[in-house]
Amino acid sequence: MMLKKLLMGVIAGAIGVIASPISEHGQLSLKGFDVVDKNGQPYILRGMSFFWDDWGFEKFFTEGSVKTIANDWGGNVVRTPIHDLNESRAKSMIDYAAAAGIYIIVDYHSHCAHKNASGAQTFFGNISSYVKQKNYNHVLYELYNEPLYENCSSASDTYAGGSLTSWNTIKSYAESVIPKIRANDPNGIIIVGTPNYSQGTEAARANPITGQKNIAYTLHFYASTSGHGSLRYNLLRGKCNDFPIIITEWGVSESSGDGNFTKSMNDTWISWIESIGVSWANWSISDKGETSAALTGGASASGGWNDGNLTASGKYVKNLIKNLNAGKGLSGVGLSPANVDCSQLEGGGQHEFVRNGVGSFGYAVQGENYMDSSNVKTVEYEKAQNKSYLASQNSGTESWAEYTLMDIPASGYYVLYASVASNSSGYLHYSVDEGSTVDSVEYSSTGSQTKFTGVLGKIALPVEGSANIRISWKGDLSLDVFTVMPADSSDSVQLDIKPGDKVMQLGSAKTSMLEQFRFDVKNRSFVIPEGYERLSLFSVKGRKVYSVDVQGKANVELDRSVKKGVYMAVLSGAKGRVSLQLKVTE
């Protein structure tokens, strides 16, 4: 009898080892877009991200929590955000995941990690050394949670404002950290954050890290934010171009982590990402009292949570993880596959951030609000729109900045109007979608780099949806703002648009778009051009935080409920829409 019990214990132990994700799938790697296991077969990671390891929520960083996610929820990965590079905490979580037989993403949870590259090098060097010492093969390294602002003063300076961190800066930072990991762990998957809260995967895809293997890129989304829906096309572009993306953070809520939990929008996302086959971790294991938190107040820090300890988010995501990781597929969670055929990309895609309505297209873009750049700097200047402009760092070298135009209603010619200043004459060049169309406009000296004048040109936008535009020049030019808008009949003559050319028309849209839409930081007030009806304010993640009727008003004071931070203001009406980035400082 005793021998029988002993044999049954040995068999049960062996089955437990065999059944764990680590023992069954071993060292993970990348093959094109896909995460693959030790046998080269696609393997999808689905699990949970813990919350920031401060504010008291680090109490959930326990072995019991990890085991609950692995055993009760059926998760095969956890993500551990480490904001202050606490090596002891990271190593403990790595050990807990190893004991539970699941994978772990060690995340430097910073919005400004590029300001602490030396600290990141030390941290990831030591963590990978620990992985080597323990002979582990279950650790993925996330170098940069959500890049935000280029000019933050330190890794903890989240809301510095100014230009979004460029992909060039993020890439350079990552390339300084990767060798520290590779010295100890030559095969572990390394995940690199992307611009604008890790939504800018297209910037990384255009200029990926080379000379390294097993490098993936991050995409974050919040499913109940309508403006994030277009990010699904970033995933499809990745899949169709063998560009590996891992979703290391997504929430059922709006982008603030709170707000609505719209199940239909979440179901759409899950159908999409499961049809594509992308790995993910949901935000978050915490009892913070916000929509995206998985746990209710009072849930044990030691795990073992029952349904009464789970929020609506927790119940929804646990059901997904448990059934999808059990191999039941989308039908097992009551969903159907999405159409993720690559032919969808042939007519042009969509892009993230504030949405403009199709058919009322128009943009006013601050020069300093670029997606990526080279040889440029942001200069503060009281008389410039939004109190700053873009200038060359070295006038003897070409300067360029890239921007994204969204919701283009149709292909055809549009008007580009740029406000520039320069001590000399030259040409402002602009190209669309990596050179599919190229144009330029000549500018004359204004006698000063702070005396701005307008230059007008035509621009061909070849597709509906979205297009990337690169503006470049050589010399001492300063760029304050540029606008892109539909052309009217007078533009057709002035810009030498030939008969038969497809010209988008919207009445007198050009005149209205060129009027100044400004924000006075000191007085917290907007200057409103005539003919617009509504002013809306969006967070950088795309969440609407404020809206007011402005019809017939020349000035509108910003409500005091809007706190300090960086926002996108969108003015809309019959004339179209115009947007500008602004910083609220008090």
Q: Which tens digits make up the pLDDT trace of 308-349?
A: 999 999 999 999 999 999 999 999 999 999 999 888 775 433
Q: What is the mean pLDDT of residues 374-399?
A: 81
The DSSP output letter for 54 is: -
pLDDT at residue 354 tops 50: no
The per-residue pLDDT for 573 is 67
The per-residue pLDDT for 332 is 97
In contact, 193 and 203? CB cutoff 8 Å = no
For 457, residues 6+ apart whose C-beta sits below 8 A from its C-beta are 415, 416, 417, 418, 428, 430, 439, 440, 441, 495
**Backbone torsion region of residue 132, taken as left when φ is above 0, otherwise alpha when ψ lies between -120 and 50, otherwise beta:** alpha
Tell me the average pLDDT of the chain.
83
pLDDT at residue 360 tops 80: no
Beta strands in 462-533 (DSSP E): 465-474, 478-486, 518-520, 525-527
Q: How far apart are CA 65 and CA 295, in angstroms?
A: 11
In contact, 251 and 222? CB cutoff 8 Å = yes
The per-residue pLDDT for 6 is 47
The per-residue pLDDT for 334 is 97
The per-residue pLDDT for 493 is 36
The per-residue pLDDT for 175 is 98
The per-residue pLDDT for 378 is 78
pLDDT winner (highest mean) among 15-29, 292-306, 443-457, 488-502 = 292-306
pLDDT top residue among 373 and 476: 476
Q: What is the CATH number of domain 353-513?
A: 2.60.120.260
pLDDT at residue 432 tops 90: no
202 is a catalytic site residue: no
* CATH entry, 515-586, from 2.60.120.1030, 2.60.40.3080, 2.50.20.10, 1.10.1040.10: 2.60.40.3080
Which candidate, 247, 192, 240, 207, places its Cα nearest to that of 77? 247
- Give the pLDDT band of residue 505 (cuts 50, 70, 90): very low
Q: How far apart are CA 121 and CA 178, in angstroms?
A: 8
Q: Which tens digits make up the pLDDT trace of 96-115?
A: 999 999 999 999 999 999 99
pLDDT top residue among 118 and 586: 118
**pLDDT-wise least confident of 194-198, 250-254, 514-518:** 514-518
- The domain ranges of the chain are 34-342, 353-513, 515-586
- Give the pLDDT band of residue 56 (cuts 50, 70, 90): confident
pLDDT at residue 32 tops 60: yes
% of the chain residues with pLDDT over 90:
48
The per-residue pLDDT for 155 is 62
Whether pTM > 0.75 for this model: the answer is: no
Q: Which tens digits make up the pLDDT trace of 124-171?
A: 999 999 999 999 999 999 999 999 888 887 666 555 555 678 899 999
The per-residue pLDDT for 138 is 98
**pLDDT-wise least confident of 90-99, 133-142, 471-480, 488-497:** 488-497
pLDDT top residue among 472 and 433: 472
Which candidate, 536, 541, 537, 519, places its Cα nearest to that of 572? 536
The per-residue pLDDT for 423 is 92
Q: Which tens digits make up the pLDDT trace of 265-277?
A: 899 999 999 999 9
- Give the pLDDT band of residue 415 (cuts 50, 70, 90): confident
The per-residue pLDDT for 353 is 25
**pLDDT-wise least confident of 10-14, 191-195, 431-435, 533-537:** 10-14
pLDDT top residue among 214 and 369: 214
The per-residue pLDDT for 338 is 94
| Helical H segments across 381-531, by residue range | 489-494, 509-514
Cβ burial of 454 (10 Å; 0-12, 13-18, 19+) is: middle
The catalytic position among 58, 142, 146, 352 is 146
Q: How far apart are CA 278 and CA 272, in angstroms?
A: 9
Q: How many CB atoms lie within 10 A of CB 398?
A: 13
Q: How far apart are CA 141 and CA 124, in angstroms?
A: 8
In contact, 191 and 105? CB cutoff 8 Å = yes
- Give the pLDDT band of residue 523 (cuts 50, 70, 90): confident
The catalytic position among 58, 142, 150, 249 is 249
% of the chain residues with pLDDT over 70:
80
Which candidate, 285, 273, 291, places its Cα nearest to that of 330? 273
The per-residue pLDDT for 413 is 72
Peptide bond into 154 cis (omega under 30): no
**Tokens 């606008």 — which residue?**
483
Q: What is the mean pLDDT of residues 427-431?
A: 89
The per-residue pLDDT for 497 is 45
pLDDT at residue 263 tops 80: yes
pLDDT at residue 502 tops 70: no
pLDDT top residue among 2 and 475: 475
The class of domain 34-342 in CATH terms is: alpha beta
87 is a catalytic site residue: no
